[in-house]
Structure 1
Amino acid sequence: MGITLNKLYPGKLDHDFLHHLLSTYTSTGSRVIAGAQVGEDAAVIDMGDKCLVVKTDPITFTTEHIGYYAVHVNANDIVCMGATPKWFTATLLLPEKSTRQMAENIFAQISRACKTEKIVYCGGHTEVTYSIKQPIVVGQMLGEVGKDELLLKRHIAIGDHLVLIQHIPIEAVSILAREKQQVLQEQFSADFVRTCQNFLFFPGIGIAPYAQLARDVAQVHAMHDPTEGGVATAIHEMARAADRGVVIDQSKIPIMAEGKLVCEFFDLDPLGCLSSGSLLLAVPHKSIEPIIKACSSKNIPAADIGKFVEKEKGLILLDGQQQKRLPLFVQDEIVKIF
């Protein structure tokens, strides 16, 4: 008999408890094609010829460039459903003693990011509140997709391969280099730390170009972006939503050199670190080569890291000669040092 703790800790809710909440208290109605579900990136509503795809996500780990993060993190989830991000609203919560300049900077960041991505920033809510210590942006992104272009995790088939585009963990390394700059500069050069900080913009945390590149050359059954809890947790989410098992070859996962060094310095597992900027794709075997070839032609790292199997086989990580359960990071690794 398992032990259930009543106290909740920083990070995502554990999947079983979240499933309980979603299955007990949310509903679908006649026009909801995909509702609240562990592992699915957004809700999908039938609008006739097209579907409306809706996502909401907060930014809580970082304050610098918080508006930029909010737009891209929410847009990524819309893209993973096969849709195009179109409209963005944001709730901006500011702590006491915030300034007008702080509020305007965040608005400007959101506006710039939306204009760059051809998204309309069309509303939201802003207030100063007693209950927080740093700014929080809760974004809501809406997008559109034709019904025949919609991607859902339930489309993942046994035998589908899992392709990972771009190194991990881009987002975590950038956040750590910005929030823990002085600590890192005691061990690494200023140039190294600046390079890590700039990963936010190059290669960046947006995955729309990778999704389009893959879908232009091959069939894709589903996509997912690894955010909080890293690529390992994202794979758990995909498998759960698809009702599948999975076998992952750890040696095939592309980890950036800077990521290895920073994670080793802070004693973090890169598989459990925030990894926005990377993209997981479930694809049939015939799609692997054209996707990897298309990425290679643009100097984008991509690898076939595993395969979906029957649910009964579980979630397996191959680590050299060892076979173990794929770790699940309910709490992101970088929480350890904040």
Structure 2
Amino acid sequence: MLPEGKVPVEILEKLFRNLDLNDGRILLGPGPGIDFAAISFGERVLVASTDPITGAVDNIGFYAIHVNANDVAVSGAKPRWFLVTLLLPENSDEELLLRIMDDIRREAEKLGVSIVGGHTEVTPGLDRPIVIGTMFGDVERGNLVRPDGARPGDAIVMTKWAGLEGTSIIAREKREELENVFGREFIEKAAALVEYISVVPEAMISSRFGVNAMHDPTEGGIANGLHEMADSSGLGIRIYPEKIPVREETKALCEFYGLDPLALIGSGSLLIAVEKNRAEALVDELQAKGISSAIIGEFLPEKKRIAVVDGREQPFPRPQTDELWKVFEG
């Protein structure tokens, strides 16, 4: 039986095996750790990505725009056009539909994205709304940043903090329970971390800086995002967990529910592969623009995945599922 959340990478590889990608205009097709497609239109490249929002109810339209925009921005392309499929539970009212679409419209306007189509229906068997988005953007062919472009010896730069999206979702969905433990002010602060979810600004800065690859971690958090990045480039990684920034709100909620913050859904952070001798300069440039960032590891030529803890190397396992599911199951 398949686990909840993302399908395991070894099964995904079976799905990709028999796909016909003989169209010469396809510059980048599906693969482990690859979240967007790239199609040539001469000197420009169309970038497309799709993602569902399944773990949130509150602010679901907000997440739909930004999670999909992030997947396009990591290519160096500016997000421009959005298709949305809205699946509503039985007995939903018009107010819910209008609220979700209003959230989508508002956030699209902030990014300069046009909503160009989609589909809406009431779907039997659902217990919550599901929004599936498809985002398109474009970029000059020479400026496309490929997700499989990391090189041995590249430093791994991470922006912001681990588990941002998961922290906000938990705070919003479990507000009443958590306010009784941590107080209203603390939970409001945790819920407000959703404001950091867009990685479009840092992706645009990094692409202009000249980096080798970018990836925005989603399900499975920073830990799974690092594995996906290594998968796509066919490399290994050495990670320094103590250098991975985690906010106090995330630490508190993860301790309360018994979660690993590094495996908690992580939209809002960007993972970047950049030449080692340029990594500090990239960190300085990002921080000069008000974007917190840190060097958390490096890529290895051999395909091993290791973490350095207390000066000793140990395995760095891939999360089997996102920690967020534990909260809703329990």
Task: Report the TM-score range of the alignment, normalised by the length of the smaller protein.
Answer: over 0.9
3-state secondary structure, aligned to 2:181: coil
Residue 69 of structure 2 is aligned to residue 79 of structure 1: no
Deviation at 1:186, TM superposition (A): 2.5
Q: Which amino acid aligns with 1:163?
A: V
Contact 1:219 1:284 in 2 (8 A): no
Counterpart-to-counterpart distance in 2, 1:230 and 1:60: 15
Aligned to 2:311: 321
Contact 2:148 2:229 in 1 (8 A): no
Q: Which runs of 4+ in 1 moved over 6 A?
A: none
Counterpart-to-counterpart distance in 2, 1:299 and 1:259: 21
Aligned to 1:164: 158
Residue 175 of structure 2 is aligned to residue 185 of structure 1: no
Aligned to 2:203: 211
Q: Which amino acid aligns with 2:149?
A: H
Deviation at 1:276, TM superposition (A): 0.6
Question: What TM-score, normalized by structure 2, do the two folds share?
Answer: 0.96
Aligned to 1:4: none
Match of 1:173 among 167, 170, 178: 167
Contact 1:41 1:80 in 2 (8 A): no
Gaps of 5+ in 1: 1-6
Residue 236 of structure 2 is aligned to residue 236 of structure 1: no
Kindly report the root-mean-square deviation, in angstroms, between the aligned alpha carbons of the 2 structures: 1.2
Match of 1:268 among 259, 263, 267: 259
Counterpart-to-counterpart distance in 2, 1:18 and 1:221: 24
Match of 1:124 among 118, 121, 129: 118
Counterpart-to-counterpart distance in 2, 1:211 and 1:41: 14
Bigger Cα displacement from structure 2, 108-117 vs 314-323: 314-323
Gaps of 5+ in 2: none
Task: Tell me the alpha carbon deviations over residues 61-117 of structure 1, each in whole angstroms, 9 at most, x when there is no partner.
Answer: 001111110010000000011111110010000111000111111111111111110
Q: Which amino acid aligns with 1:319?
A: V
Deviation at 1:286, TM superposition (A): 2.6
Equivalent runs, 1:49-128 vs 2, <5 Å: 49-128=43-122
Task: Tell me the alpha carbon deviations over residues 32-58 of structure 1, each in whole angstroms, 9 at most, x when there is no partner.
Answer: 110011101201111111111111100
Match of 2:282 among 286, 291, 294: 291
Contact 2:76 2:207 in 1 (8 A): no
Distance verdict in 2 for CA 1:131–1:27, change over 3 Å: farther
Match of 1:48 among 33, 38, 42: 42
Deviation at 1:28, TM superposition (A): 4.8
Deviation at 1:222, TM superposition (A): 0.6
Deviation at 1:27, TM superposition (A): 3.0
Aligned to 2:211: 220
Q: Which amino acid aligns with 1:256?
A: R
Aligned to 2:271: 280
Question: What TM-score, normalized by structure 1, do the two folds share?
Answer: 0.94
Residue 246 of structure 2 is aligned to residue 255 of structure 1: yes
Deviation at 1:287, TM superposition (A): 2.0
Aligned to 2:190: 196
Aligned to 1:332: 322
Deviation at 1:206, TM superposition (A): 0.3
